[in-house]
């Protein structure tokens, strides 16, 4: 599995995501590559995305067992979920090998402020005020926010129909639950097998709290079951 960490495109690292990534790898019993992609704003879009594409293509030829990979998965959380979905879209456009399954955890799939996506008192992390700062943080022209490589909810039905079976997990209490619901509906309408798993009352990317929340372990087990 190739995994892309979250952090709003500007933060996050291999270190703070290592326990979570290890939990997924252990539960699914698979090798996992955690990607150290370039962060904005020092490295403006599309630098980070290009790193993720390069890492995935590299991984397709690097079997830990020395044999040709029969399956390879792709996943990410928060903005890492954005990058994972955007990587998948880019691979489709380039005619490259696709992941066999896609896992998106509390993903950001709409980079613009959308009136249909409402702020929530139950989410202290995400909100429209924060989304207003995306162009400056990510290093993009505000007019590009609608680009489907940044706002995946705008991807064409033709491209979305090529996506692999997908699992999307999001908390019902978080601002980004709208993204999860909207993209899951787009996948389903396009004929892609998709599971939208909604978890009530949990924080954004609760999977990180592997030693504190039983729901983190339960969500990890659901990921493993989906991959296996």
pTM for this prediction: 0.95
Residues belonging to the active site: 78, 174, 204
Give every residue of the chain whose pLDDT is below 70, as ranges. Answer: 65-66
Give the domain CATH number at 58: 3.40.50.1820
pLDDT given for residue 203 in this prediction: 95
What is the total count of domains within the chain? 1
Give the residues across from 169 on adjacent strands.
105, 197
pLDDT given for residue 115 in this prediction: 85
pLDDT tens, position by position, 58-84:
999 887 766 778 899 999 999 999 999
Count of beta carbons in the 10 Å neighbourhood of residue 107: 28
Output Rg (C-alpha) for the chain, integer angstroms.
16
User: What gap in Å lies between CA 56 and CA 87, rounded to an integer?
Assistant: 8
Burial call 58-75: b when 16+ CB within 10 Å, e when fewer: ebbeeeeeeeeeeebbbb
pLDDT given for residue 141 in this prediction: 84
Query: Which is it for strands 2-4 and 73-77: parallel, antiparallel or unpaired?
Result: parallel
Domain span including residue 27: 2-227
pLDDT given for residue 38 in this prediction: 97
User: Locate tokens 């992609």: which residue?
Assistant: 37
């Amino acid at each position: 599995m190739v995994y892309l960490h979250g952090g709003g495109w500007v933060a996050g690292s291999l270190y703070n995501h290592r326990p979570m990534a290890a939990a997924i790898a252990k539960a699914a019993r698979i090798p996992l590559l955690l990607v150290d992609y370039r962060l904005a704003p020092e490295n403006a879009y599309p630098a980070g995305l290009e790193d993720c594409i390069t890492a995935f293509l590299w991984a397709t030829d690097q079997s830990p067992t020395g044999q040709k990979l029969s399956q390879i998965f792709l996943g990410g959380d928060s903005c890492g979920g954005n990058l994972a979905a955007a990587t998948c879209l880019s691979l489709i456009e380039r005619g490259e090998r696709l992941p066999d399954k896609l896992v998106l955890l509390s993903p950001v799939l709409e980079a613009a402020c959308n009136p249909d996506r409402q702020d929530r008192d139950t989410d202290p992390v995400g909100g429209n005020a924060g989304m207003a700062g995306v162009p400056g943080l990510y290093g993009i022209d505000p007019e590009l926010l609608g680009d489907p490589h940044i706002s995946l909810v705008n991807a064409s039905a033709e491209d979305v129909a090529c996506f692999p079976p997908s699992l999307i997990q999001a908390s019902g209490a978080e601002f980004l639950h709208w993204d999860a619901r909207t993209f899951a509906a787009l996948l389903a309408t396009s004929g892609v097998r998709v599971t939208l798993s909604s978890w009530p009352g949990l924080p954004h990317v609760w999977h990180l709290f592997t030693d504190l929340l039983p729901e983190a372990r339960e969500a990890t087990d659901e990921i493993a079951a989906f991959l296996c």
